[in-house]
Structure 1
């Protein structure tokens, strides 16, 4: 049986084409001109912005898919561990042994849950940091481009 990917959003972005959007922008404002502003540079800036939007959306999508997949794996691991623990407890005869094993299982489960929580948090943080860095870089570039454009208008 083939394993389905939960929450596969790749089809959602399949038809998104930043080049087509830039072309629509160019067609819409192709006849308009602002004195001292190079429309080609303006379109290039918008193209870069759309490419950033697309790449960051794809990165967030990939991060979300990896997160969901990892959570599904964690759930499968937890089910297997609970099943093994239940079998182990069922085979124990002494009440003291059962109690000691239960405490040990609780400790192990708590440590595993904490480790899983940290792993999930790190996955989210890494994706957010990467996307934020890309956006910050593009904003800096855009401000530089704007500054250069304004300097040419004078």
Structure 2
């Protein structure tokens, strides 16, 4: 049976490819989705890829993942640094969550150095561009076997 992994994306990630390409690169979110689905096939994972600019929707999807998925790769975007609600939603589910960032948040503005969700996740991958997502899928494959 193929394990489903949710790949969840937060605010402004729908603007990838146009938004600050010097930081985030030129790939669009659709490009990253295609890369994740291809990597998922190679890893024997089904990838359910989603994006929302709304915190409550992301919380609902985390709850859904707790019922339907084997794990979550989660780029919470700016909500990473502000959301106790996302932290609590991750704590409320029993599947592993990997925090994902395209950029190295620790080499950026001071306010990006603090993650509200990091204490609730299994691990954090940042700074490898879109490859960060693939690394998260590989990690989830390994920890959910």
Q: TM-score, normalised by structure 1?
A: 0.22
Higher fraction of helix? 1
Bigger radius of gyration among the two: 1
Higher RCO (C-alpha 8 Å, min separation 6): 1
Q: TM-score, normalised by structure 2?
A: 0.23
Higher fraction of strand? 2
